[in-house]
Structure 1
């Protein structure tokens, strides 16, 4: 991890399929063996039931499938049980296929009814709290469908039904927490994304006066195909231009003097990146960007510093947003903050810190921040650029970082200078 980002980083080696699978399985085993027991006990859950159907995997179950299990098979039911007294968590699977990191607990020949087999095991364990993924607010913790819930509760003995509770906090903690093994992988994953962005914002891809914004977007997609990587959203490329209103996109040709913006993210080794960078296309004879554009990015870097200073364990996302906005306003900065957790999902589980369309408190930002979480520090500041006749310009930035509970550390640095694209070779 570093504060400074390399200007044109080399692309790290991309792992072949077998090595990727081995890495993913090693990280999954670490998460199941160390993270899961800790958060179950912190949240006071004795037994956790997860249900998915083939091609309809809910977010938590999908994160628990090993690298060879690309989908749940038929109906897959996972059960985690804490027997207490410091004993290991039982990891059980009720499925016609699989095993691996889970112990098979269902013999269809003995008990054909899958739901009844689960209910019988739960009755034998007699847990005080039975958690299922039901949440009105968080999609990550709302994976149990109505039909599955009805079948599950119908199979449970009547005295156990009042013990069923929402696993909302447990599911969020599972998805939002990054382990040491994941943290060791993340810098190279971020460096990969940064290297691809550096290629996109270069004369290798962009010929001013010829290349359109849309062509750069599709170059990203083709480049990821070449590398055997996947985007988790379609890349964005847009132009801000002196005398033009807003962001220019699509078939607009990139010209000298343009300020370019990109939003780009990949999924690799089950972890996601989400990055926004800015570049300036030099006019003939220019060697640096106009001072007003450079100051605009410096303002955004200052907002990043303000925001990350307010991270604290137990503080809500809404409280972080309010404190950061107040400090930025006092400093005379015109800002919008819309940061989010990142990790197993691009827009990850955990409390949000603002939304571009809501800069006040939001129910999705009410939960507390936890240590060992990764974040997209996503925001913008606006500034009048003197060289563009006082035009209001949007200086967007997004960099991924890790919150260790005390401080926020950028995973592979952050952009502190505009990328420069020469107007001629």
Structure 2
């Protein structure tokens, strides 16, 4: 264990040394099980600093992940195709920071020659990609781009050729029908039987988190936590005046000020004693309300996804009612139960069934809908339940792997005595990292309801 910790620390130090000066001055925030109350907002990098860092991380990912997953999946050659403004999910994550879109038709080829030799990274397109792929097409000598692809593949004679085609996963279904037809017409017929789905490659590329990324991820999640802390405060909310919708649009304005992007429109809703369900839109926030938010950002090509709750104190109150505090504690218990069942090789459906059975046996009323996170908010990899399906699902058949990030998203329901036994929904969501042995929250988790004073 000590040796593993030493290695992790060394890798973190290497990643920190590669950071721009501004980032080094404010980083790293270390993964922690404890979430700060109204944490300070970390410094946001300039566009140039972000680009430098994103390019370093991408180069490391290509060097580190591609050979590993191609050999694990038994693939000799992986073909990826994208068109300008129609980038498929995998190619979009392989473009350097200065190439924001594929140019015309961008074709990428990874070829593993075997015998321990480096994996070739080729681009069959008119434009280079930040020096990360070797340009491999001369239109003057071969005007037909697809024939150039066919010639490159034929010369390498791979035993298995992967293309991104999948009925199950949107992340591995990037090969369109027109491009498939053109590709197959250019590929020698003798190689056609060797074409297979690259689903495993696409998912593993997207779900794998590197040490360098995990050095940065706590800061990214801290930014999200800090913005939520601002939203759930008197800086933004005036009880009796502010509506749920106004808080939603405050988030959007704040992110624009910070030069950050949301990956979905923020949610804000209200549960109130005597009212059914969640209220949102133009509902005015009042003392005694339990507020809920769902908020996520994209920064340095990684995403966050967080759900927190807050209570608006009534005049004279100094804490939330005990029943509400107990309800959040119940959701924390479900989190603990769920994460205890993570294991390499176990499917998402297996984890869901085991966690639900244990939580229900403990007297809890859970609903679990946890998902991978990383390059996409709802990321590649096996789902662990859906809010509208607490049974097994084909999307949960995939196996859990080490070095993956997760949004531990779930809720539990509880009757609140102070609200006349009203059934309340205690939604929670926190980002976490599974190293293969245990799940750790990236920047802690909410264990105390945020309090918003009813008066300034």
Common fold by TM > 0.5: yes
* Residue correspondences, number: 425
Q: Which residue of 2 aligns with 1:357?
A: 388
Q: Does structure 1 residue 384 correspond to structure 2 residue 415?
A: yes
Cα deviations by residue, 1:236-291 (Å, 9 ceiling, x for unpaired): 00000000000000000000000000000000000000000000000000000000
Q: Does structure 1 residue 70 correspond to structure 2 residue 115?
A: no
CA RMSD of aligned residues (A): 0.4
Q: Does structure 1 residue 110 correspond to structure 2 residue 130?
A: no
CA distance in 1, matches of 2:229, 2:128: 42
Q: Does structure 1 residue 318 correspond to structure 2 residue 349?
A: yes
Match of 2:339 among 303, 308, 311: 308
Q: Does structure 1 residue 98 correspond to structure 2 residue 161?
A: no
CA distance in 2, matches of 1:97, 1:43: 29
Query: In the TM superposition, what is the alpha-carbon distance from 1:180 to its structure 2 partner?
Result: 0.6
Structure 1 gaps, min length 5: none
CA distance in 1, matches of 2:266, 2:249: 8
Match of 2:75 among 39, 45, 56: 45
CA distance in 2, matches of 1:144, 1:284: 60
CA distance in 1, matches of 2:80, 2:436: 29
Query: After the TM superposition, which residues 76-95 of structure 1 pair with which residues of structure 2 at under 5 Å, given as runs?
Result: 76-95=106-125
Q: Secondary structure at the match of 1:140?
A: helix
Q: Does structure 1 residue 211 correspond to structure 2 residue 245?
A: no
Q: Secondary structure at the match of 2:251?
A: helix
Query: In the TM superposition, what is the alpha-carbon distance from 1:97 to its structure 2 partner?
Result: 1.1
Q: Does structure 1 residue 287 correspond to structure 2 residue 353?
A: no
Question: Which runs of 4 or more aligned residues in structure 1 lie more than 3 Å from their structure 2 counterparts after TM superposition?
Answer: none
Match of 2:268 among 224, 232, 237: 237
Query: After the TM superposition, which residues 13-412 of structure 1 pair with which residues of structure 2 at under 5 Å, given as runs?
Result: 13-99=43-129, 100-412=131-443
CA distance in 2, matches of 1:12, 1:95: 39
Query: In the TM superposition, what is the alpha-carbon distance from 1:53 to its structure 2 partner?
Result: 0.2
Q: Which residue of 2 aligns with 1:5?
A: 35
CA distance in 2, matches of 1:260, 1:157: 61
Query: In the TM superposition, what is the alpha-carbon distance from 1:98 to its structure 2 partner?
Result: 1.6
CA distance in 1, matches of 2:141, 2:113: 25
CA distance in 2, matches of 1:215, 1:343: 29
CA distance in 2, matches of 1:109, 1:229: 42
TM-score (ref. length: structure 1): 1.00
Cα deviations by residue, 1:58-111 (Å, 9 ceiling, x for unpaired): 000000000000000000000000000111000000111124200000000010
CA distance in 2, matches of 1:199, 1:103: 46
Structure 2 gaps, min length 5: 1-30
CA distance in 1, matches of 2:37, 2:452: 12
Cα deviations by residue, 1:2-41 (Å, 9 ceiling, x for unpaired): 1110001000000000000001000000100011111111
CA distance in 1, matches of 2:294, 2:64: 34
Query: In the TM superposition, what is the alpha-carbon distance from 1:189 to its structure 2 partner?
Result: 0.1
CA distance in 2, matches of 1:217, 1:161: 52
TM-score (ref. length: structure 2): 0.93
